[in-house]
Amino acid sequence: MSIEAQSRRDFLAGTASATALTVFGTAGLSGMSAFATPSKQSSGGEKLIPYGAAVRSDALASDPSYRDAVIANCQMVVPESELKWLELRPSKDEYRFEKADAIIDFARQNAIEVRGHTLAWYGALPPWTESIATRADAERELTDHIETVVSRYRGAIPSWDVINEPLLDWPESASSLRPSIWARRLGPDYLSLALRTTASVDADARLVLNEYDVEFTGPRFAARRKALIQLLRSLRDRDVPLHAVGLQAHLFADRAIDRDGLQALLAEIAALKLDVLVTELDVIDYELPGKIGERDALVAGVASRFLQAVCEVVRPKAILTWGLSDRYTWVPIYFKRRDGMPNRPLPLDAELRRKPLFDVIEEFRRGA
**Among residues 48 and 281, whose Cβ is nearest to ligand XIL?**
281
- Give min distance, CB of 80 to ligand XIL, in A: 5
**Among residues 48 and 83, whose Cβ is nearest to ligand XIL?**
83
| Count of residues that bind ligand XIL according to CB under 6 A | 7
Alpha-carbon distance 64 to 67, whole Å?
A: 5
- Give min distance, CB of 174 to ligand XIL, in A: 20
Cis check for the bond before 118: say yes or no (omega within 30 of 0): yes
- Give min distance, CB of 318 to ligand XIL, in A: 15
280 binds ligand XIL (CB under 6 A): yes
The residue number whose beta carbon is nearest to ligand XIL equals 330
The correct pick among 45, 333, 339, 340 for binding ligand XIL (CB under 6 A) is 333
- Give min distance, CB of 280 to ligand XIL, in A: 6
213 binds ligand XIL (CB under 6 A): no
335 binds ligand XIL (CB under 6 A): no
164 binds ligand XIL (CB under 6 A): yes
87 binds ligand XIL (CB under 6 A): no
330 binds ligand XIL (CB under 6 A): yes
81 binds ligand XIL (CB under 6 A): yes
- Stretch 241-270 residues interacting with ligand XIL (CB under 6 A): 248
**Among residues 50 and 79, whose Cβ is nearest to ligand XIL?**
79
- Give min distance, CB of 329 to ligand XIL, in A: 8
Residues that bind ligand XIL (CB under 6 A): 80-81, 164, 248, 280, 330, 333
